[in-house]
Chain A
Amino acid sequence: MSGLICRLPSAMLFAAIACAFAGCASKDDVSPADVEKQAFEDLRTEIRAVIDDLAREGEAIALVNELSEDLNALRETIAKRRQRVRELNADYDTTRADFEAFFNQVDKEIKSNKRQVSEKQREFLAFMTPDERLAISKTHSKARDAAIRNIQTI
C-alpha cells in the first residue's frame, strides 16, 4: 500500500485523503501517515499564505520540516524504548540496577531533546509575529485536526 502511495502523484494522494474525509471512501484506505503528510502540507500552505516575507517564510517552512522529522524520530525512539523495556522485564533475572540504568539513559535523552525542542520553539517565536502565529493556529483543515488527534496519542 505504502509503495503504491509513493508512486502516486501528490495531487492524487491529496484527492484520496479529501475523498476519505468526505465519506466517499473508507477512512481505512488512508493511513495515519498519509493524513499526517497532508496535515504538514496544509500547514506549509498556510504559512506561505500568512507570512509575506520570503526569508521568514523559508525559515518557518524549514522549521516545520524539522518538526516533522523530529516527530518521526520520536515515534522510532518510543518503539525502541518499549521494545527494550519489554526485553528487560521478560528476563526474570534482570536486576533493579539494570532497569535504573535504562531509565537514567532515557532521562538523559529526554532532557537533551528538551533543549533542542526549546531552541526550535525560541526560533519559531523569533521569526513569526504574534498575529502570524494566531492566524496559523486559527486555521483548521480536516487533515490537520485528524493529525493533531494522532499526535496526541503518541
Chain B
Amino acid sequence: MLIALFTILLLGGGSTATLAYIADTQDSVKTVMVKDDRQKAALSTLKAMKKRTNARNKYVKRASKDMKKTLGQEDINTTDIDAIWAGYFAEIDQYDHDMLDLRWELKEHINREEWQEIFAGD
C-alpha cells in the first residue's frame, strides 16, 4: 500500500489529463450539430483526441508499473525514480500541447453557439 501511495503521489494521478474529457462529448456534438461535413470533421477531431488520450493512458500505466517496481526494490535507486518521473512529465507536457492543438482544430469546426451548448454544463 505504501508503494501504491508513493507512486500516485509522485505521478499526480488524474491531475495530468485534465483535457481528456473533451473527447467524451461525441453524443453532445451529434445532438447539437446538424449532421453535415462540419459535424463529421468535429467527430473526427474528437476521435483523434480519444486516440491521443489512450496513448497517454498507456504511457501512464507503463510509468506507474516501472515506478512501483523501482519503489519495491530492496535497494531503491533514486536516479531511476527521477528518470521515470522526468520521462513521464515530458510525455504529459507533449500530451497537453497535442490536446491544445486538437482543441483549436475542434473550434474550427464548431461555432460559438454550438460550443456553448456542447459545454453548457461546465
Contacts and interface: CB of A to CB of B under 8 A. Distances in A.
Given A78-B14, A92-B112, A113-B12, A125 B76 contact: yes
Given A107-B93, A154-B8, A78 B1 contact: no
A71 B18 contact: no
Interface stretch (B30-38, B39-47, B96-104): B96-104
B122 interface: yes
B5 interface: yes
B3 interface: yes
Interface of A, secondary structure class, is helix
A110 B13 CA distance: 11
B21 A92 contact: no
Give the interface residue-count category, chain B. 35 or more
B115 interface: yes
Interface string A116-154: 011011101100001001101100000010011001101
A86 B116 CA distance: 12
Interface residues of A, number: 45
Interface in A8-50: 39, 43
Given A89-B122, A99-B100, A74 B19 contact: no
Contacts of B19: 85, 89
Given A70-B9, A107-B93, A137 B3 contact: yes
Given A39-B1, A133-B2, A137-B3, 17 more contacts: A85-B19, A86-B122, A89-B22, A90-B116, A92-B116, A96-B100, A103-B93, A107-B89, A113-B12, A117-B6, A117-B10, A118-B81, A121-B76, A124-B2, A148-B1, A151-B4, A152-B8
